[in-house]
Structure 1
Amino acid sequence: MGGASGFSSGQEHLPVVDLDLVEHADSEYRSIFQTGSAEEVEAARFRLIWALVHSSQHRHQTRGLELCRASLAAGLQPPADREHRYLAAVACYKLGQYIEARRELARLLQEQPGFRQAEFLRGLTEDAIVREGLVGVGIVAGVAGVALALLFGAARK
Structure 2
Amino acid sequence: MEAKMGRFFESVSNFFTGGDHIPWCDRDLIAGCEGELVNAVNEEQRNESLMRLSWALVHSRQTDDVNRGISMLQASLDNSASPLQTREKLYLLAVGFYRIGDYSKSRQLADRCLEIQADWRQAISLKKAIEDKIAKDGLIGIGIATTAVGLLVGGIAAAVARKK
Question: What TM-score, normalized to structure 2?
Answer: 0.81
1:6-155 correspondence runs (5 A) = 12-32=20-40, 36-72=41-77, 74-78=78-82, 79-155=84-160
How many angstroms does 1:11 deviate by? 5.2
Query: Aligned to 1:55, what secondary structure does the other structure show?
Result: coil
Note if contact 2:80-2:86 (Cα within 8 Å) is conserved in structure 1.
yes
Deviation at 1:54, TM superposition (A): 1.3
Task: Give aligned-pair identity as a percent.
Answer: 35
In 2: Cα distance, 1:18 partner to 1:69 partner? 22
RMSD between aligned residues: 1.6
Aligned residues: 144
Q: Which has the larger Rg?
A: 2
Note the residue ranges of structure 2 that are not aligned, 5 or more in a row. 1-17
Higher deviation after alignment, 48-57 or 103-112: 103-112
Helix, strand or coil: the match of 1:12?
coil
Query: For each residue in 1:87-109, what CA deviation from the matched residue of structure 2 results, as whole angstroms up to 9, or x when unmatched?
Result: 00011111111111111111221
In terms of fraction of residues, the more helix-rich structure is 2
CA distance in 1, matches of 2:142, 2:19: 24
- Once the two structures are TM-superposed, the CA of residue 141 in structure 1 deviates from its matched residue by 0.9
Gaps of 5+ in 1: 1-9
